């Protein structure tokens, strides 16, 4: 007998089979989903495989646990309060509205709720790119109370996406001015470029500005734009068509840097 036993456990909804000695110490574990047996000691390799034999399904990789990548080490070292990755789309606006709901006006809704609806729609669309190797951070805080609505990092590069609510309204873009419906024109493109430049400084990588318009009736651009993309909320996933700029390891490293709140304190 090899004096080892198998103990099934569940971690984050996934089953793992731990191989333990009689004193309870682990010597290996089997991750079914990854098809991998992780050994803590090569000396017990044959004993581990023998006791796991009835549980193994198909071919497996056997060896020591993978060494964490630099990006994983950064993530593991972050205090939860400093990790921006869990931010929901519109996190900053939602927090403000939870504390200051504002007056309930039937004829003129709170414009902050319109802005939140735009950020939710764009953010949820961007989150769906995760399976294609893209990472998105929402409500990235900048000094002075500003923020990047959505920071997108993937094979096609980095993008700072600023959303604007324009449902059923005409939008006129005359760089750097943007007019939505009957509202006064604002130099919005200047703001979007400035946020992208600050993100570039923080991450020491090129970050391209994007203006995402939520539900406009019509969009008119008077002249070619300088270093700027304008997209509808229904087309923001077209960013994933770009590729050949960053390798997967670069994407993860930049995402690890960007998710750290401390990265943004001096921009």
The predicted pLDDT at position 102 comes to 65
- Dist. CA 175–CA 129, nearest whole Å: 29
- Dist. CA 39–CA 256, nearest whole Å: 28
The predicted pLDDT at position 9 comes to 80
What does the block give as tokens for 64? 């020591």
| Mean pLDDT across the chain | 89
SS3 assignment, position 55: helix
The predicted pLDDT at position 120 comes to 96
Q: What percent of the chain has pLDDT over 90?
A: 60
- Dist. CA 248–CA 255, nearest whole Å: 11
Q: What values do phi and psi take at 112, rounded to 5?
A: -65, -30
The predicted pLDDT at position 1 comes to 46
Buried-exposed string 230-252: b where 16+ CB fall within 10 A, e elsewhere: bbbbeebeebbeeeeebeeeebb
Contact indicator for 125, 236 with CB cutoff of 8 Å: yes
Question: Which residue ranges make up each domain of the chain?
Answer: 4-63, 70-264
pLDDT in tens, 82-131: 999 999 999 999 988 888 776 655 556 788 999 999 999 999 999 999 88
The predicted pLDDT at position 228 comes to 94
Question: How distant, in Å, are the alpha carbons of 125, 141, 230, 240, 258 from that of 130?
Answer: 10, 22, 22, 10, 16
| Mean pLDDT (whole number) for 16-43 | 86
Locus of tokens 């019509």 = 218
Confidence of residue 13 (pLDDT cuts 50, 70, 90): low
What does the block give as tokens for 255? 């995402």
Q: Give this prediction's pTM.
A: 0.74
| Mean pLDDT (whole number) for 10-19 | 72
pLDDT in tens, 197-227: 999 999 999 999 999 999 999 999 999 898 8
Q: What values do phi and psi take at 11, rounded to 5?
A: -130, 120
- If phi > 0 it is left, if psi is from -120 to 50 it is alpha, else beta; for residue 242 that is beta
pLDDT in tens, 58-74: 889 998 877 777 777 77
The predicted pLDDT at position 106 comes to 57
Buried-exposed string 140-172: b where 16+ CB fall within 10 A, e elsewhere: bbbeeeebbbbbbbbbbbbbbbbbbbbbebebe
């Amino acid at each position: 007998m090899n004096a080892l036993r198998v103990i099934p456990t569940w971690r984050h909804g996934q089953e793992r089979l731990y191989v333990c000695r009689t004193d309870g110490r682990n010597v290996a574990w089997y991750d079914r989903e990854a098809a991998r047996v992780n050994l803590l000691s090569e000396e017990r390799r044959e004993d581990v495989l023998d006791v796991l034999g009835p549980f193994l399904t198909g071919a497996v990789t056997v060896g020591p646990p993978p060494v964490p990548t630099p990006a994983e080490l950064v993530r593991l070292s972050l205090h939860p309060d400093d990790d921006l990755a869990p931010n929901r789309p519109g996190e900053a606006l939602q927090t403000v509205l939870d504390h200051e709901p504002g007056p309930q006006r039937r004829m003129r809704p709170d414009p902050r709720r319109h802005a939140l609806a735009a950020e939710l729609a764009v953010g949820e669309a961007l989150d769906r790119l995760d399976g294609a190797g893209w990472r998105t951070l929402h409500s990235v805080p900048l000094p002075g109370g500003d923020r990047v609505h959505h920071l997108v990092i993937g094979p096609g590069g980095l993008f700072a996406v600023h959303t604007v609510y324009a449902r059923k309204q005409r939008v006129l873009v005359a760089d750097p001015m943007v007019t939505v419906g009957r509202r006064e024109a604002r130099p919005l493109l200047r703001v979007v470029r400035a946020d992208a430049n600050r993100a570039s400084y923080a991450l020491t990588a090129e970050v391209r500005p994007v203006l995402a318009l939520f539900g406009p009736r019509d969009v008119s651009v008077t002249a070619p734009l300088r270093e700027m993309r304008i997209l509808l909320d229904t087309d923001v996933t077209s960013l994933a068509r770009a590729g050949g700029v960053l390798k997967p390891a670069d994407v993860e490293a930049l995402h690890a840097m960007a998710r750290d709140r401390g990265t943004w304190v001096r921009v």
